[in-house]
C-alpha cells in the first residue's frame, strides 16, 4: 500500500511560537500514523521550507493551520483543510485523518480575474457547499491577524527604542530640558517613526489579506487617514476591511474589461479609484470613530485607576485563557493601542498576565518535579526562558493535556499578576521583551513581585493537581 503524502502550512500572527508548535505537532502525528508530510512555516523571519509545485502535485491533500494569510491558490484541485493554528497544535491526528480518509473538500479557486500584480484570485471556495458562519468568522479573524502580524515588528522595534530613550531620563528627548541627551532624542525619534506606522501597516495588510496587493495600497492610505484623524487602532481596522472589500467591488465591476488591460487596472485604475473611494468612505466615519477611540481610551484609563481589581481580572483572564490566541491578542493589542496614546499602565498589566502562564508551568515542574515526566521537566525549564521574554505559548502543551483544569489555574495566576501590577501603578513603556525591558520599567521591583506572586500561586495549584492526578506517586520515567 502506497504511503499517503500530505503537505501543510502553519502560521500565527507573531510567527514565533504557535507556527512551529503546530508544525511539530503535525510532524509527530504524521510519523505516528505512517504518513509522509512536508510543512511550510510562515514565521516572523518569513516563509521557510517552501512547498514546491512538485510537492503539491504529489500530495494527497493539504492542511493549512494558520491565523494569517497563506496563499491557497496554489492548492487548486487538492483536498484542503483550513483551520486556526491552535487546531494544528491540539488536533493534528484528526486533521491528517480527514485527508487520509478523503473527507476534506476539494479546493477550487474562484474569481480568477484579479488583475492585481500577478495574483490569480480574491477569495476561494470549496467544491462542497458554502461557507458556514464559523468559516467566515475565521476568515475575518485571519485577515485581521495578517495585519497584526506585519504590524508587530514595527510596534515592538519602535516601542523598545522609545523605552530605551527613557533610560537617559523622562525628558531626555526634550531639547529645552536640562535632561536632554542627543542620543536619547535620536532613539525616541527613530522609535517614534516606527511606532507611528502601526495603524497604516495594520490597515494595509488587513486589506492585502482580502484583496492582495491592490488592497494593500488602498488600506495604507485608509490607515493614514485614520491615524491622522485620531481614530487610532479601531479606525485602522475599519479602514483595512473597507479598503479590501472596496478593491473586490472594483474587481467585480471592471471584470468585463479586456484581458489586455489587466496591467492598466493593476497599476492605474485600482490605485486611483481605490484611494479616491477610501477617502470618500472614511471621511464621514473618522469623527465618530475618533470619538469612540477616545472614549474607550478614557474609560480604560479611569478603570485602571479606580478599579484595578476588575480590570486585572479581565486582562488576566483574557491573556491566560488561550495564551496567544484571539482573547490574548485582543488584550495585547488594546495595550499596544493605549501605549501609542501615551498610557504606560495598561500594557504593564497585560505584559504581567502574558509572562505568568509559562512561569506557572516552569515553577510547577521544579517544585513538584517528581509528578512530571523527564520530557515535561525539560519543557518546563524552557518555559523559564519563554516566560521571561514574554512568550506565552510555552504553556500550551501542558494546558492542552487537561484544559478544563489547567486553563482556569493559568487564568487565576495571570489575573493575580495583572491585579497586583495595576494596584502598584507599574508603568511599562515597551510593548514586548518581558524582563529584558526591566531597566525602563517604572516600578520594576513591584512588577517582578506581582508576576512572581501570580506565577507561584498558579504553580502550586497546578502542582497539587498533578500530584493528585498521579495518586501521590512519582511519575515513572
Burial call 32-55: b when 16+ CB within 10 Å, e when fewer:
eeebebbbbbbbeeeeeeebeeee
274: closest CA among 230, 234, 214? 214
**What Cα–Cα distance (Å) separates residue 129 from each residue in 125, 336, 457?**
9, 39, 49
- b/e string for 56-93 if b means 16 or more Cβ within 10 A? beebbbbbbbbbbbbbbebbbebbbbbbbbbbbbbbbe
Q: What b-and-e string marks burial along 258-295, b requiring 16 or more CB atoms within 10 Å of the CB?
A: eeeebeebbeebbbebbbebbeebbeebbeebbeebee
Cα 159 from Cα 156, distance rounded (Å): 5
Cα 48 from Cα 104, distance rounded (Å): 25
Tell me which of 12, 197, 247, 461 is the catalytic residue. Answer: 12
Query: What is residue 268's DSSP assignment?
Result: I
Cα separation, 338 vs 300, in Å, equals 9
User: Is there a contact between 363 and 431 (Cβ–Cβ < 8 Å)?
Assistant: no
Angle between helices 326-340 and 133-165 (to 10 degrees): 40
Find residue 37's DSSP bridge partners: 6
Element (H, E) at 47: strand 46-48
Composition of the chain by helix, strand, coil, percent to 5:
70, 10, 25
435, with CB counted inside 10 A (0-12, 13-18, 19+), is: middle
CA distance 8 to 80: 9
Does 354 qualify as catalytic in the annotation? no
How many CB atoms are closer than 10 A to CB 178?
8
Q: Tell whether the torsion through CA atoms of 303, 309, 310 and 315 is positive or negative.
A: positive
Cα→Cα distances 326→43, 67, 377, 386, Å: 18, 9, 28, 20
Active-site residue set? 12
Amino acid at each position: 500500500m502506497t504511503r499517503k503524502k500530505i503537505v501543510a502550512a502553519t502560521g500565527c500572527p507573531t510567527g514565533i511560537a504557535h507556527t512551529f508548535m503546530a508544525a511539530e505537532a503535525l510532524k509527530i502525528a504524521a510519523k505516528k500514523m505512517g504518513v509522509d508530510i512536508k510543512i511550510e512555516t510562515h514565521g516572523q523571519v518569513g516563509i521557510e521550507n517552501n512547498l514546491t509545485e512538485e510537492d503539491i502535485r504529489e500530495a494527497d491533500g493539504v492542511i493549512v493551520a494558520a491565523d494569517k494569510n497563506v496563499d491557497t491558490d496554489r492548492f487548486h484541485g487538492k483536498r484542503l483543510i483550513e483551520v486556526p493554528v491552535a487546531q494544528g497544535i491540539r488536533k493534528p491526528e484528526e486533521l491528517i485523518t480527514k485527508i487520509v480518509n478523503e473527507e476534506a473538500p476539494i479546493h477550487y479557486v474562484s474569481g480568477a480575474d484579479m488583475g492585481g500584480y500577478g495574483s490569480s484570485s480574491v477569495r476561494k471556495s470549496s467544491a462542497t457547499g458554502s461557507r458556514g458562519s464559523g468559516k467566515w468568522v475565521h476568515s475575518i479573524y485571519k485577515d485581521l491577524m495578517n495585519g497584526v502580524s506585519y504590524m508587530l515588528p514595527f510596534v515592538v522595534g519602535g516601542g523598545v527604542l522609545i523605552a530605551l530613550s527613557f533610560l537617559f531620563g523622562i525628558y531626555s528627548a526634550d531639547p529645552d530640558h536640562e535632561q536632554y541627551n542627543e542620543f536619547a532624542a535620536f532613539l525616541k525619534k527613530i522609535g517614534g517613526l516606527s511606532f507611528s506606522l502601526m495603524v497604516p501597516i495594520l490597515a494595509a495588510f488587513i486589506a492585502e489579506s482580502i484583496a492582495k496587493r491592490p488592497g494593500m495600497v488602498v488600506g495604507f492610505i485608509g490607515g493614514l487617514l485614520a491615524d491622522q484623524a485620531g481614530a487610532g487602532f479601531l479606525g485602522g481596522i475599519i479602514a483595512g476591511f473597507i479598503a479590501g472589500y472596496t478593491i473586490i467591488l472594483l474587481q467585480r465591476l471592471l471584470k468585463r474589461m479586456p484581458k489586455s488591460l489587466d496591467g492598466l487596472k493593476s497599476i492605474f485604475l485600482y490605485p486611483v479609484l481605490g484611494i479616491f473611494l477610501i477617502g470618500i468612505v472614511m471621511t464621514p466615519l473618522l469623527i465618530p470613530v475618533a470619538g469612540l477611540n477616545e472614549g474607550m481610551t478614557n474609560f480604560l484609563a479611569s478603570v485602571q485607576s479606580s478599579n484595578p481589581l476588575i480590570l486585572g481580572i479581565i486582562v488576566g483572564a483574557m491573556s491566560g485563557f488561550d495564551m496567544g490566541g484571539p482573547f490574548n491578542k485582543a488584550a495585547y493589542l488594546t495595550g499596544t493601542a493605549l501605549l501609542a496614546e501615551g498610557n504606560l499602565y495598561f500594557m504593564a498589566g497585560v505584559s504581567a498576565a502574558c509572562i505568568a502562564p509559562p512561569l506557572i508551568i516552569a515553577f510547577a515542574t521544579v517544585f513538584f518535579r517528581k509528578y512530571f515526566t523527564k520530557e515535561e521537566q525539560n519543557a518546563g525549564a524552557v518555559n523559564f526562558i519563554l516566560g521571561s521574554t514574554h512568550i506565552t505559548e510555552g504553556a500550551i502543551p501542558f494546558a492542552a493535556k487537561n484544559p478544563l483544569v489547567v486553563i482556569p489555574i493559568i487564568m487565576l495566576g495571570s489575573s493575580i499578576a495583572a491585579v497586583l501590577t495595576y494596584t502598584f501603578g507599574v508603568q511599562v513603556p515597551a510593548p514586548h521583551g518581558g524582563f529584558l525591558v526591566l531597566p525602563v520599567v517604572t516600578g520594576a521591583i513591584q512588577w517582578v513581585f506581582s508576576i512572581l506572586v501570580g506565577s507561584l500561586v498558579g504553580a502550586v495549584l497546578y502542582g497539587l493537581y498533578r500530584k493528585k492526578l498521579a495518586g501521590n506517586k512519582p511519575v515513572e520515567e
